[in-house]
Amino acid sequence: MVDDWISALESERASMGRASASEKVADALRTRIIEGDLRPRTRLSEERIGAALGVSRNTLREAFHLLGHERLVVREFNRGVFVRALDHDDVRDLYRFRRILEVSSIRQAALDGSDLTRLHAAVDEGGAAAAVEDWRGLGSANMHFHEALAALAGSRRVDEAMRQVLAEMRLVFSTMSDPRTFHEPYLEGNRQLAALLSAGNHDEAERALLTYLDRAEAQLLAAMSA
């Protein structure tokens, strides 16, 4: 519902400082995409979003410009700004990039002995969502898991790149007709990855991750073709 994501934006208003206002607005909208509140082809009303976040139209347009560079929104002549819909080539390229980001994060974790607290918390979050059959919530937990996995690299730039990737991925996931069928099997995959990393089996975790990503990519492409 539109009112749901507008309310979610309003809740983030207090955390937005004056500095880099357009970046903060872009991050708020990106978060709503990652959480599944904003679906492909949703029209983004300048009036409603500006009022929800307490920002000017100029700031909002700068934020739209940033999100446009990230391929998350598009401006349509005489119609406005819309959340973007992705195609097959986008999905293939996203998974190519995810393999680079996430595998390198596992390799860095092998060197640094990174803290896995966030990773296990995301697995627990997914299990709690599945227990009450909250499939959208399970999708969000999966986003949080992969965000935490990328964070093992210990790089702010990797974190930023992964958030952009996950926002685009959520736009693809939102087109799935049966979110339970898609998301539920990957909860066990997340548990397996977390367990392997906790045991220090980084090479096996890397192989498991690549199998996981190959399967997800093939499943999404097949669903989009259907």
- Tell me the pLDDT tens digit for each residue of 73-95: 999 988 999 999 999 999 999 99
Query: What domains are there in the chain, each with its CATH number?
Result: 2-83 (1.10.10.10), 88-225 (1.20.120.530)
- Do residues 103 and 153 make contact, with C-beta atoms less than 8 angstroms apart? no
Residue 12 has pLDDT above 90, yes or no: no
Element (H, E) at 44: strand 43-44
| pLDDT tens string 175-203 | 777 888 888 999 999 999 999 999 999 99
From CA 140, how far away is CA 183, in angstroms rounded?
A: 10
First to last CA, the chain: 26
What tokens were used for 180? 């339970």
Residue that is written with structure tokens 């208003």 in the block: 13
From CA 93, how far away is CA 71, in angstroms rounded?
A: 12
CA dihedral of residues 219, 5, 117, 213 (deg, nearest 10): 10
CA dihedral of residues 154, 156, 160, 161 (deg, nearest 10): -60
**DSSP SS3 for 154:** coil
What is the three-state SS of 58-91? HHHHHHHHHHHHCCCEEEECCCEEEECCCCHHHH
pTM of the model: 0.82
| pLDDT tens string 39-73 | 899 999 999 999 999 999 999 999 999 999 999 99
